[in-house]
Amino acid sequence: MHLVPRSARSRRTCILSAAALALASALALAACSTGGAERTGTGVTGEQSASVPSADALLADYGLDGLDARTIVDRLEAAPVAERPTGLIASVRPDVLVLSDEGRELALPMPDEFYVSIAPYRAETHDCVFHSLTTCLGELRNEEFRVVATDAATGAVVLDEARTSGDNGFLGLWLPRGTEIDVSITDAAGRSAVSSIDTAALDSATCVTSMRLG
């Protein structure tokens, strides 16, 4: 895997790389978008938004060629912060993964499951709507948690696992689509937080930074 090292970024905010800032503004793509739940994607659903040669080149330049959206999400989310690519913006939307750098953009269809990335916190957080796999940073990095996800309508437990937050401070969860999921997160000291995740709407948040452990 070829991942380009990136410089350190503040834990308190999710930052767009300088190289991608102009493009991101023009396309209304933001790392940890704070524009409410307004959908600001490319308008492409289930298709690549760039020509095939251009899309292949973009993926190849970041060592992601031949990979589908789920594999890219899992790989970038798990990568150490220092090894995440500096020039790439990878914005997770409910239906597509939008990848862009200076002058190029493509959208890959997300799988049948809904992806949400959660950054539980104790003291520091930031606003976020759409998760950026390459720039979002949370407070609690590489910590142990218990994560329980329950279907709000049926009460069925869809996930119950001991999880370690990533080097970026986030816990990435693949959840069933088309419903409301109640997620409970508990740290090693027994402090917990609960949030409801809407996995049905196309403007649903894929980034949750409001779960304060207490």
State the Cα–Cα distance between residues 7 and 15, nearest whole angstrom.
Answer: 11
Give residue 22's pLDDT.
34
Look at residue 80 and tell me if it is in a domain: yes
Task: Name the DSSP letter for residue 121.
Answer: B
**Identity of residue 131:** H
Let me know: does 134 contact 76? Beta carbons within 8 Å. Answer: yes
Look at residue 4 and tell me if it is in a domain: no
Look at residue 144 and tell me if it is in a domain: yes
Give residue 52's pLDDT.
64
Residues 130 and 168 in one domain: yes
Q: Give the pLDDT of the chain (214 residues) as one tens digit per residue.
A: 444 443 333 333 343 333 333 333 333 334 465 433 333 333 344 444 555 667 789 999 999 999 999 999 999 999 999 999 989 999 999 999 999 998 899 999 999 999 999 999 999 999 999 999 999 999 999 999 999 999 999 999 999 999 999 999 999 999 999 999 999 999 999 999 999 999 999 999 999 999 999 9
Residues 118 and 200 in one domain: yes
Residues 103 and 118 in one domain: no
Q: Which of 109, 133, 162 is the last residue of a domain?
A: 109
Helices (H), 68-214: 69-78
State the Cα–Cα distance between residues 182 and 47, nearest whole angstrom.
Answer: 31
* Most distant pair of Cα atoms in the chain: their distance: 51
Look at residue 74 and tell me if it is in a domain: yes
Residues 101 and 167 in one domain: no
Give residue 96's pLDDT.
98
Which tokens sit at 74? Answer: 């899992």
Look at residue 46 and tell me if it is in a domain: yes
Q: Which of 109, 136, 167 is the last residue of a domain?
A: 109
State the Cα–Cα distance between residues 159 and 136, nearest whole angstrom.
Answer: 24
Residues 138 and 104 in one domain: no
Give me the number of domains the chain comprises. 2
Look at residue 9 and tell me if it is in a domain: no
Where in the sequence is the domain holding 80, given as residue range(s)?
18-109
Look at residue 3 and tell me if it is in a domain: no
Give residue 32's pLDDT.
67
State the Cα–Cα distance between residues 97 and 14, nearest whole angstrom.
Answer: 17
CATH number of the domain that 182 lies in? Answer: 2.60.40.3700
Give residue 79's pLDDT.
96
Residues 118 and 182 in one domain: yes
Q: Which of 82, 109, 136 is the last residue of a domain?
A: 109
Residues 93 and 133 in one domain: no
Give residue 53's pLDDT.
65
Look at residue 84 and tell me if it is in a domain: yes
Whole-prediction pTM: 0.80
Give residue 4's pLDDT.
40
Residues 157 and 96 in one domain: no
Residues 101 and 30 in one domain: yes
In the chain, beta strands by DSSP E: 89-92, 96-101, 104-109, 114-118, 144-151, 157-164, 171-175, 180-187, 192-198, 207-208
State the Cα–Cα distance between residues 104 and 98, nearest whole angstrom.
Answer: 11
Q: What is the CA radius of gyration of the chain?
A: 16
Residues 37 and 95 in one domain: yes
Residues 101 and 133 in one domain: no
